[in-house]
Amino acid sequence: MQFSAQQIAQLLQGTIEGDANVCVHSFAKIEEARPNDLAFLANPKYLPHLYTTQAGIILVNNDLVLEKPIAATLIRVEDAYSALATLLNLYNSRQKPLVGIEQPCYIHETATIEEGVYIGAFSYIGAGSKIGKQTQIFPHSYIGANVTIGQNTTLYSGVKVYHNCQIGNHCILHAGVVIGSDGFGFAPQTDGSFQKIPQIGNVILKNFVEIGANTCIDRATMGSTILHDGVKLDNLIQVAHNVEIGENTVIAAQTGIAGSTKLGKNCLIGGQVGFVGHIVVADGTKINAQSGIAKSITTPNEAYGGSPAFAYKENVRANIVFKQLPDIEKRLREVEQQVKNN
């Protein structure tokens, strides 16, 4: 598959600088690209590679100022990273999807499988479950009873979806994801033991949700654990029972969200963040990696960091002071000694 700079620029509504007829047929990182590759530059850290790369075409932002001539053809766009995503999605859509049911696998007689579905070998589809059009379920996946999966959704190998859970359209669940495992609910007894609290709710994933590999989302004790449209979760995340995550919130790896916490829309959560249970986080909140959120955040569009977390700018200043503490202590002891000597 080959595209010219002219074709790509028309698709992206970009501006060409260089040879409009140059063609590429693959993608590569800017530091590794060859003449038949398309690369992109969005992060300023990679700017030096712009002048040494062998890429045939490079996507760059409109505001990029060149410091010296380059050999590649540039296509200037509003957002190079977003433009790359558009091209990669187009490229991926041209790959022929798998269709059909491989054997051996088990599909209950009451399950509904719509047209264009792929079900890989050694998969299990439980009673009353419904699989929507063009959905792909890769080998060794488990779909429990009365599960609903929408259209054009992909479950990669080894995904487990427990009974009564609902997955929307255009979702992607990567290998090892578990949807609907029991919430961590136990009632302490007078003899020191713990009695299990049955978890009778479910998990609902809305549309365009993507879940990273080996992430676990627990079913609700009662009601539903809900991830709204456009939520993106990284690998190795724990979402506890009755959590609700608002539209287009993005969460990086190894984050843990305790039970009944509600995250707002358009939040950006760094890796290894911990949330206590039963709190609310406002829309548009940004949280730095390795932070601990111990209470509700009620003001929208603010940034936080630290453990326990507080305002990000204050946290940065506090860390600067923290690094200076040994020197401050040393000087304080010197002053104390001078006072004693006088």
* 120 contacts 103 by C-beta, under 8 angstroms: no
Domain boundaries, the chain: 3-93, 100-312
Q: Quickly state the pLDDT bin for 189 (edges 50, 70, 90).
A: very high
Q: Quickly state the pLDDT bin for 330 (edges 50, 70, 90).
A: confident
Residue 39 CB contacts under 8 Å (≥ 6 apart), including other chains: 27, 28, 29, 30, 33, 53, 55, 57, 58, 59, 72
Q: Which CATH class is domain 100-312?
A: mainly beta
pLDDT in tens, 108-167: 999 999 999 999 999 999 999 999 999 999 999 999 999 999 999 999 999 999 999 999
What's domain 3-93's architecture? Answer: 3-Layer(aba) Sandwich (3.40)
pLDDT of residue 229: 98
Helix (H, G, I), strand (E, B) or coil at 90: helix
pLDDT for 57 beyond 90: yes
Closest by CA position to 268, among listed 226, 303, 216, 311:
303
Q: Average pLDDT of 50-71?
A: 95
Q: Average pLDDT of 189-217?
A: 97
Share of the chain above pLDDT 90, in %: 86
pLDDT for 241 beyond 80: yes
pLDDT of residue 313: 83
Q: Average pLDDT of 258-275?
A: 98
In the numeric block, the tokens 């002219």 are attached to 6
* 91 contacts 1 by C-beta, under 8 angstroms: yes
pLDDT for 185 beyond 90: yes
Q: Quickly state the pLDDT bin for 316 (edges 50, 70, 90).
A: confident
In the numeric block, the tokens 């269709």 are attached to 99
* 246 contacts 283 by C-beta, under 8 angstroms: yes
pTM: 0.87
pLDDT of residue 100: 96
Give the residue numbers annotated as catalytic, written as ranges: 241
* 144 contacts 163 by C-beta, under 8 angstroms: yes
Give the pairing of strands 136-137 and 154-155.
parallel
